[in-house]
Amino acid sequence: MGIDRNPQAKVQRTVVSFIILFYLALQGSATFTMNWRFISYYFPFVNYPMYTATHYEGEHVRPGNIIVGRLDDNSEVEIHEKDLGLNYWQFRWGFGGAVLRGNQGEIVKYLLYYKGANGKRFTSLTVKSFPAIVTREGMRPSPPEDIRTVQLTYTDRE
């Protein structure tokens, strides 16, 4: 009675076991072999306090970056994934990576979507960081930092 002779159930159990083992191995890797240069590869495990690095008084903590675009009329807008019709990962690794590398050819492909949807054109993009400083009283905001600015030169047909 205790032995399950259903081959489909056995296959399902095996697949589920491998999935569980995969995630346990990934979590173990995040716990014991974490390389902070590649921290984003450990998502979603590193979002837990157990995996965060220790920060000391006076240290700057950079929680993340934003991308700000300067339009033809000199106004600035914060650019989000929905503005470009992208998901989080496409925005972070595709568009964000292209901006950090200064790859205009790749950047323009994304911005043409924005121009088509909004009728506005960017003249430059800046990646900004809003760090905080660790103090005895808690986190204190520090001035924003410009990580990278890319001046754009493109035609509407690129």
Q: What is the pLDDT of residues 102-136, one digit of tens each?
A: 999 899 889 988 888 888 889 999 999 888 888 88
- Determine the structural domain holding residue 66 and report its residue range: 60-151
DSSP 101-117: HT-HHHHHHHHHHHHHH
Amino acid found at 85? G
Q: Which of 51, 71, 86 is the last residue of a domain?
A: 51
Domain check: are 68 and 145 in the same one? yes
- For 89-106, the pLDDT digits (tens) are 899 889 999 999 999 989
> How many whole angstroms separate alpha carbon 47 and alpha carbon 41?
12
Higher-pLDDT residue of 39, 72: 72
Domain check: are 86 and 116 in the same one? yes
Domain check: are 145 and 69 in the same one? yes
Structure letter (DSSP) for residue 54: P
3-state secondary structure of 144: coil
Domain check: are 47 and 64 in the same one? no
Domain check: are 72 and 132 in the same one? yes
In a domain, 97, yes or no: yes
pLDDT band at 20 (very low <50, low <70, confident <90, very high): very high
